[in-house]
Amino acid sequence: MNMILALLLLAAPAAHAAPALPRSDFNRLAARAGIPVFWLPVAYDTATLSPADLAPVGDADALERFVIGGKFTAEFDHAYKFLVEERRTEAVRRELDSGRPNLIVSDFRKAPASERELVRRVAAAGKLIDELYALQTGGLRWRESLGGDAASRSMFERNHGPWCEAPGTESDPFCSAVPTFPARKSDAYPQSLAQDGAMCDELKSRPDGKALLDPFTVVREKDGKLVAVPLVEAYGPQMKLIAVELRAAAAAQGRDEAALKAYLLGAAKGFETGNWAEADETWSRMGARNSKWYLRIAPDEVEFDPCQEKAGFHVSFARIDSGSLAWQDKLTPLRQEMEDSLAALAPAAYKARRVAFGLPDFIEIVLNSGDSRTPAGATIGQSLPNWGKVAEENRRRTVVMTNLYEDPDSKKTALLKAGEMFDAAVLANYPSDKEAGLVGTILHEATHNLGPHSGSLVGGKTQAQIFGGRLEGVLEELKAQSGALWYVDLLKRKGLLSDKQVAEIYTHELVWCMGHIANGMTTDGGAPKPYSQLSGVQIGWLSKAGVLDWKAGPDGVERFSVDFAKLPAAAEALMREVVRVKGSGDVAGAKALVDGFVSGADAPLMRMAKVQERLRKYPKESYSYTPLY
Ligand SMILES: [Zn+2]
């Protein structure tokens, strides 16, 4: 064990304590509960309640129950605990209320037997994945200790653990579904470690850092040493149950679903052996032209991990929306030109590859489980796998979800939110149908396959090794979303988009940024939120370039105006800098770009305080999924 690790182990808190009630909460909750005491204002220190600062309310004798001989009584301790619990349940309800419940119902009750069996088995696998993911997050170990109230149980199920996730509550120390306020600890690392940025840096810098941060492992302490343990060793029994459901689903499929059947069997093997090669191969061969279904069941994304290195289990299950075939036919001939033109932006930093990635399939989500079933919001586009041969050979499969946020409630809210941040001239371009958003998402996902990517080596090192998982995550998303802006001009020049569609896409993407800025730039553990940070960079960059202007309108309220004519050149300059930084492995340049706009001198440009003040009052969609079979 080396020195820094030893220090981390010593510094780790042995136990957790309830946070102390601030004076304002104490007095407010005591009045509500009819506890006749008042915490007097004390100039020298209002953080700690001492017996001398407590006064009786109304009746002078009221204090005797709570303070005797200058000391708190047992009755006071009891009352104080009650107030802490009141404050906790208040925070839990606030966390839940930050989401607007929304439901995706899919009815297969009249479908053929093979389809109903598929849905039934995938739904069963989804329940197992939810359990397994809660194990990964570290949440599952607290299920037995949940608060007795229904809200705590609901929040635990929604959040895959006892910890709060909403921007307004995630850093509230009272927000926990468990009355003992356990610290947020992932199961991917030893519980004795602090699990903060310092731990991630320390693991990364060790000679065995690559093994310890392998996405398909967890880190365990054995004989005083840290070792990487494969997921299949750590969670074997749970993973094998999932394989049983997948094999049963495969057995029900006929020749018309041969590609799906091959994937179900490949995925089952992955859950049995921990080797995902066959699953990824069979998965890459499934598509909108050979199956009615989209299914991905695997450990994939890393955002949930404190170091953003470990893969979280999830299910995304959907029906193919054949509307994507038209866009595939339009964009497939342009793929190489997209790669070549991107490389031409920074020829010294990056050489074009031959690309042959699949353009996104449109899908209608039936079920999300585990890491895909987020407490608030939902993934609207995804490109997988992140590792392995299929990824390295650039044969990733990309999907765009077309049935989310399309209900009347969501659309009404989206327009109101856009109007909070942009002036009337911009709002006139707010898209009325889903096409603009879909094109933006297609371009974002396609760009993940273009330019320097997670497998690109600079001086023998991967992007994650050069930049660290945290910064690399931000850069990769910044690349993808900058592509969503930059490639619009190419599609326009090719005659694939009208001027009106172009303005609609730009507007849609700028509004998208505001939604992410409202989420805040980092998690309560200090990890960067990639979409939020890229949004901060883009809004700051476009402001500096004169595309965005923050000014008061006729009603005296400040909002952004947009000079659409200047946007293409500014998007190109940003894309050039991102390709340069990633392609050359320029860590200092990456930090200057990201930190400069996120926390540095240019951070005020994104107007984060205003965005949060105006947008956080709108609850986010909180999706549940009900497949009927
Ligand atoms: Zn992305």
Separation of CA 447 and ligand 1 centre (Å): 9
Q: Sign of dihedral through CA atoms 472, 308, 454, 446?
A: negative
pLDDT of residue 15: 43
Separation of CA 448 and ligand 1 centre (Å): 7
How many residues in the chain? Answer: 629
pLDDT of residue 46: 65
| Beta carbons of 350 and 577 less than 8 angstroms apart | no
- pLDDT tens-digit series, residues 62-104: 999 999 999 999 999 999 999 999 999 999 999 999 999 999 9
pLDDT of residue 103: 96
Closest to 178 (Cα-Cα) out of 199, 164, 165, 158: 164
Q: How far apart are CA 213 and CA 311, in angstroms?
A: 10
pLDDT of residue 274: 97
Separation of CA 571 and ligand 1 centre (Å): 17
Confidence of residue 16 (pLDDT cuts 50, 70, 90): low
pLDDT of residue 178: 97
- pLDDT tens-digit series, residues 25-41: 999 999 999 999 999 99
Which alpha helices (H) appear in 422-553, and where do they start and end?
424-427, 435-448, 463-493, 499-517, 530-544
Separation of CA 530 and ligand 1 centre (Å): 9
Q: How far apart are CA 204 and CA 199, in angstroms?
A: 8
DSSP-assigned letter for residue 276: -
Separation of CA 381 and ligand 1 centre (Å): 7
- pLDDT tens-digit series, residues 318-343: 999 988 888 889 999 999 999 999 99
Separation of CA 383 and ligand 1 centre (Å): 7
Q: How far apart are CA 397 and CA 389, in angstroms?
A: 13
pLDDT of residue 45: 63
CA separation, residue 93 to residues 27, 90, 303, 409, 614 (Å):
20, 5, 25, 22, 21
Separation of CA 146 and ligand 1 centre (Å): 34
pLDDT > 90 fraction of the chain, expressed in percent and rounded? 82
Residues 421-448 have a mean pLDDT of: 92
For the residues of 109-137, what is the DSSP string, one character each?
A: TTS-HHHHHHHHHHHHHHHHHHHHHHHHH
Separation of CA 531 and ligand 1 centre (Å): 8
Q: Is the pLDDT of residue 423 over 80?
A: yes
- CA 308 and chain centroid, separation: 11
Q: Which two tokens stand for residue 221?
A: 């302490």
Q: How far apart are CA 484 and CA 489, in angstroms?
A: 10
190: left (phi over 0), alpha (psi -120 to 50) or beta: beta
- pLDDT tens-digit series, residues 148-173: 999 999 999 999 999 999 988 999 99
- pLDDT tens-digit series, residues 475-511: 999 999 999 999 999 999 999 999 999 999 999 999 9
The 3-state DSSP class for residue 523 equals coil
Separation of CA 10 and ligand 1 centre (Å): 38
Separation of CA 290 and ligand 1 centre (Å): 26
Separation of CA 445 and ligand 1 centre (Å): 6
Residues 54-66 have a mean pLDDT of: 93
Separation of CA 23 and ligand 1 centre (Å): 44
pLDDT of residue 523: 85
Separation of CA 451 and ligand 1 centre (Å): 14
Q: How far apart are CA 433 and CA 477, in angstroms?
A: 25
Closest to 56 (Cα-Cα) out of 41, 40, 38, 70: 38
Kindly give, in sequence order, each residue whose CB lies less than 8 Å from that of residue 33, ignoring residues fewer than 6 positions away. Answer: 79, 82, 83, 86
Separation of CA 460 and ligand 1 centre (Å): 25
- pLDDT tens-digit series, residues 93-121: 999 999 999 999 999 999 999 999 999 99
pLDDT of residue 5: 40
Q: For residue 393, give the amino acid letter.
A: E
**Strand blocks (E) in 29-165:** 37-39, 54-56, 67-68, 71-72, 99-107
Pairing outcome for strands 397-401 and 361-370: parallel
Residues 580-604 have a mean pLDDT of: 96
Cα-based torsion angle of the residue sequence 598, 603, 609, 611 in order, rounded to the nearest 10 degrees:
-70
Q: For residue 217, what are the β-bridge partners?
A: 230
- pLDDT tens-digit series, residues 605-627: 999 999 999 998 898 899 999 99
Separation of CA 336 and ligand 1 centre (Å): 20
Indicate the burial class of 112 (C-beta count within 10 angstroms; 0-12, 13-18, 19 or more).
Answer: exposed
- CA-based radius of gyration for the chain: 26
Kindly give, in sequence order, each residue whose CB lies less than 8 Å from that of residue 264, ignoring residues fewer than 6 positions away. Answer: 246, 247, 249, 250, 253, 295
Separation of CA 97 and ligand 1 centre (Å): 27
Separation of CA 590 and ligand 1 centre (Å): 18
Separation of CA 508 and ligand 1 centre (Å): 16
Separation of CA 126 and ligand 1 centre (Å): 23
Residues 8-30 have a mean pLDDT of: 73
Q: How far apart are CA 67 and CA 538, in angstroms?
A: 57
Residues 407-415 have a mean pLDDT of: 91
Confidence of residue 226 (pLDDT cuts 50, 70, 90): very high
Q: Is the pLDDT of residue 207 over 80?
A: yes
Confidence of residue 445 (pLDDT cuts 50, 70, 90): confident
Q: Is the pLDDT of residue 359 over 70?
A: yes
Q: Which two tokens stand for residue 211?
A: 């093994």
Q: How far apart are CA 434 and CA 410, in angstroms?
A: 12
Separation of CA 603 and ligand 1 centre (Å): 22
Separation of CA 535 and ligand 1 centre (Å): 12
